[in-house]
Amino acid sequence: MSLFKHLLRNPTAKSYSYSSPSIIMPSNLILTCLSHFTTDASPSTVQLTQYSGLGPTKANEKPRVVVLGSGWAGCRLMKGIDTSLYDVVCVSPRNHMVFTPLLASTCVGTLEFRSVAEPIARIQPAISREPGSYFFLSHCAGIDTDNHVVHCETVTDELRTLEPWKFKISYDKLVIALGAEASTFGIHGVKENATFLREVHHAQEIRRKLLLNLMLSDVPGISEEEKSRLLHCVVVGGGPTGVEFSGELSDFIMRDVRQRYSHVKDYIHVTLIEANEILSSFDDRLRHYATTQLSKSGVRLVRGIVKDVDSQKLILNDGTEVPYGLLVWSTGVGPSTLVKSLDLPKSPGGR
């Protein structure tokens, strides 16, 4: 605000060019605050250098540890790192850590979304307090291991009202904790029509679709067939996430839907599709217990492989068509796209 007041009093102030737009600045204003992010911080430079990232650390500065990702591994490391010895820079498309085991509970209102998300600045306060530590809401676009540089691109809104901004970060030590991506096995239509359950916005989308379908199914004139489709919740994948979400959803139907949506309570049902047995990596007794409990709560268990996914139905390998109003995909995870592209030693699974 003081800058604009000065301009009003001093309309003859010199004009400097910063990036593409023209910014009017008083001639005696020295932008020392940008020196940490520029390639040339000389105060005498008339043409301000475009913001290009964090350059290499100097001899009198602490070594810089760059952490890619804000999941379990990255946050645990940032929480325990000694910030008196290192500067910490976190690059992630989300500014919080998600407690994933409880994410399914937020879909049906058992828990609020803020209960399963912890801000990065609370996990490691140095990133918002220390002059050499930062958090950047960005994607990692590439890693130059020869020159110790990370290439980043800012995360913007889906409407693209802001153009992504590319910048570089030099590192002394690099931690790659990018996590994994949901596996679709190349099945047509999964990414376009299914909802995953790995982030808070996924849970919000599931909750929105579920409540919207409950409202729409109660509108006069909706056919019996369409009601059944709208209120058919299909979960693909019988791992921990799929089983947990199916259980939460069946509890929601038994306790809330039957009381608050009595007109359509007999139409809503849950189907869990798994190629083999549910919880196949767990003990036999636990698998048997989970199967019994899900069946008791009304979850229909179907053994099959999904071949194709349409906007309102999916097709199994035996040709069976399964209409749905909500499709949640939880068939496991694989390495991220960036990790696949890195020329670094990997495990047999590509991680």
Residue 256 CA to residue 250 CA, distance in Å, equals 10
Q: Are 203 and 106 in contact (CB under 8 A)?
A: yes
Q: Say if residue 99 is in the same domain as residue 233.
A: no
At 4 the pLDDT is 40
Q: Say if residue 175 is in the same domain as residue 195.
A: no
CA angle in degrees (0–180, nearest 5) for 239-243-247: 170
Number of domains comprising the chain? 2
The CATH number for 279's domain is 3.50.50.60
Domain span at residue 211? 190-333
In a domain, 44, yes or no: no
Segment 322-325 long-range contacts (CB within 8 Å, at least 24 positions apart): 322/232, 322/234, 322/271, 322/273, 323/228, 323/229, 323/232, 324/229, 324/232, 324/233, 324/234, 325/209, 325/213, 325/229, 325/230, 325/231, 325/232, 325/233
Q: Say if residue 142 is in the same domain as residue 201.
A: no
Q: Say if residue 155 is in the same domain as residue 264.
A: no
Q: Are 269 and 298 in contact (CB under 8 A)?
A: yes
Q: Say if residue 151 is in the same domain as residue 202.
A: no
In a domain, 339, yes or no: no
The alpha carbon of residue 209 and the mean position of all alpha carbons in its chain are separated, in whole angstroms, by: 18
At 77 the pLDDT is 97
At 159 the pLDDT is 66
φ, ψ for residue 65, nearest 5 deg: -105, 120
φ, ψ for residue 10, nearest 5 deg: -130, 75
In a domain, 16, yes or no: no
Q: Say if residue 215 is in the same domain as residue 263.
A: yes
Phi-psi sector, 227: left (phi>0), alpha (psi -120 to 50), beta: alpha
Each residue's pLDDT tens digit in the chain (351 positions)? 444 444 344 444 433 333 333 333 333 333 333 334 444 444 444 344 344 799 999 999 999 999 999 999 999 999 999 999 999 999 999 999 999 999 999 999 999 999 999 999 999 999 999 999 999 999 999 999 999 999 999 998 776 778 889 999 999 999 999 999 999 999 999 999 999 999 999 999 999 999 999 999 999 999 999 999 999 999 999 999 999 999 999 999 998 998 888 888 889 999 999 999 999 999 999 999 999 999 999 999 999 999 999 999 999 999 999 999 999 999 989 999 999 999 899 988 888
What are the angstrom distances between the C-alpha of 87 and each of 55, 97, 132, 167? 13, 20, 6, 18
In a domain, 35, yes or no: no
Q: Say if residue 152 is in the same domain as residue 235.
A: no
Mark which of 136, 159, 179 sits at the end of a domain.
Answer: 179
Closest to 99 measured CA to CA, from 244, 249, 297, 239: 244
Instruction: Scan for tokens 């800058």, then name that residue.
Output: 3
pTM listed for this prediction? 0.81
At 10 the pLDDT is 45
Q: What distance, in Å, lies between the first and last C-alpha atoms of the chain?
A: 50
Q: Say if residue 57 is in the same domain as residue 105.
A: yes
In a domain, 340, yes or no: no
Q: Say if residue 198 is in the same domain as residue 287.
A: yes
Q: Say if residue 175 is in the same domain as residue 194.
A: no
In a domain, 346, yes or no: no
Closest to 311 measured CA to CA, from 186, 190, 184: 190
In a domain, 309, yes or no: yes
In a domain, 37, yes or no: no
Q: Say if residue 281 is in the same domain as residue 321.
A: yes
Q: Say if residue 231 is in the same domain as residue 123.
A: no
Residue 127 CA to residue 123 CA, distance in Å, equals 9
